[in-house]
Amino acid sequence: AQRVTQPEKLLSVFKGAPVELKCNYSYSGSPELFWYVQYSRQRLQLLLRHISRESIKGFTADLNKGETSFHLKKPFAQEEDSAMYYCALGGSQGNLIFGKGTKLSVKP
Amino acid sequence: DSGVTQTPKHLITATGQRVTLRCSPRSGDLSVYWYQQSLDQGLQFLIQYYNGEERAKGNILERFSAQQFPDLHSELNLSSLELGDSALYFCASSAGLRNEKLFFGSGTQLSVL
């Protein structure tokens, strides 16, 4: 089965603290993984994808095939990082399968 | 603005009715995807069209149907509506056929009363 699990519905941290949003996936082939973000009153948008191995807004994510994980990390959270974060898996049909999302709240 | 346009933004209707949601993709994008977002289920993939052809199907009910027209805009038709169909329906588009960067519309909020 193709599935994405984000175990935390809500993650609350203080400004300047490290943040890690967890994502685990189930997929039999070679996975393509993405993180999407939705800021308040904005559209859902791509944050980063594993094939690019890039850092966007200080966020990074490493694919761990052994643990079937693609956790999103940032060493020092900022208030503007508060948003809804979705992990997504490229499905075998070509569509994206999304997790249920984690709401990140960064307190001042 | 992602360039993906969805109309209407809000729709209120009654059970048993039929509605049509419309999506215009970004200029040049050939793929259109429909997703349903509800509080308990998150973002559920419904269906994908590529250049007018159905390419992938997810958890789309038989009461729901979609199509993509020659000008590449897409419509999602929801019929015999039930209370449980109340949700936010997103359209997204991408340039290619699979696992491309998706650009999302702002969604249509459907309320079935």
Of all helices (H) and strands (E), which one includes residue B47?
strand B42-50
User: What's residue B2's pLDDT?
Assistant: 66
Across the range A6-28, mean pLDDT stands at: 96
Across the range B67-94, mean pLDDT stands at: 96
Residue A28: other Cβ atoms inside 10 A: 8
Chain A interface test: which of B31, B36, B43 (most A C-beta within 10 Å)? B43
State the average pLDDT for chain B: 93
A3 three-class SS: strand
Residue B89: other Cβ atoms inside 10 A: 24
Instruction: Give tens-digit pLDDT for B32-61.
Output: 999 999 877 789 999 999 999 999 999 899
Instruction: Give tens-digit pLDDT for A69-104.
Output: 999 999 999 999 999 999 999 887 778 899 999 999
Chain B interface test: which of A35, A48, A54, A96 (most B C-beta within 10 Å)? A96
User: At residue A21, does pLDDT exceed 90?
Assistant: yes
